[in-house]
């Protein structure tokens, strides 16, 4: 554990998942409880949280693939706590834990780019997330929370939706 400017950095534990979900939902991200469980329960991973005012306010995780490559992600800071250097403290702590890893990559949104660049991360390629305003009747948040097996009889309806969304 490390503490800096009233920020406590500690390992993420399964009991933190409820707060982690709240952080990701506040940003409109689609992570599920299972996603967070995979991150925190896999022993090779490095998952950290930051606490301020006795509550979880930030996260950062790294999926470590046998010390060959680690993927940093889930860097989230509650809006009221941004601009205090919390993401930098978390990322430096995470990078310290990944010191023996041959390659560290970052899965990020543009919002964090200034922080990541200051820590030496460079753009490798850009991913575009796109929406189609003509499909206004789709509840994207709800559609991420439910999955089901596609049946052969579903294909015509899926094709129609695909055609209306993507031409």
Q: What is the mean pLDDT of residues 61-79?
A: 93
Only one residue has tokens 């010191």, namely: 99
* Residue 139 belongs to a domain: no
Q: What would the pLDDT profile of 39-58 be if each residue is shown by its tens digit?
A: 999 999 999 999 998 999 99
pTM over 0.75: no
Return the pLDDT at 3. Answer: 46
Q: What would the pLDDT profile of 131-143 be if each residue is shown by its tens digit?
A: 777 666 555 555 4
* Residue 147 belongs to a domain: no
Residue 102 has which token pair? 């041959």
* Residue 159 belongs to a domain: no
Domain count, the chain: 1
Determine which helix (DSSP H) or strand (DSSP E) holds 103, and give its type and residue range: strand 103-106
* Residue 27 belongs to a domain: yes
Distances (CA, A) of 122 to 74, 100, 164: 18, 20, 37
Residue 30, domain CATH = 3.40.630.30
Task: Show Cβ contacts of residue 10 under 8 Å, excluding neighbours closer than 6 positions.
Answer: 1, 48, 49, 51
Residue 29 has which token pair? 């991200």
């Amino acid at each position: 554990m490390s503490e800096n400017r009233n920020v406590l950095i500690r390992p993420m534990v399964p009991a933190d998942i409820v707060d982690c979900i709240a952080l990701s939902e506040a940003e409109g991200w689609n992570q599920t409880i299972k996603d967070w469980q995979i991150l925190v329960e896999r022993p090779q991973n490095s998952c950290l949280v930051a606490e301020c005012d006795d509550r979880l306010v930030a996260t950062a995780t790294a999926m470590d693939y046998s010390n060959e490559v680690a993927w940093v992600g889930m860097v989230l800071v509650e809006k009221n706590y941004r601009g205090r250097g919390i993401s930098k403290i978390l990322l430096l702590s995470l990078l310290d834990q990944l010191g023996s890893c041959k390659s560290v990559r970052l899965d990020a949104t543009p919002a964090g780019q200034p922080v990541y660049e200051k820590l030496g991360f460079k753009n490798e390629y850009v991913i575009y997330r796109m929406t189609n305003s003509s499909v206004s009747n789709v509840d994207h948040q709800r559609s991420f929370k439910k999955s089901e097996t596609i049946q052969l009889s579903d294909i015509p309806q899926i094709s129609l939706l695909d055609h209306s969304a993507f031409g």
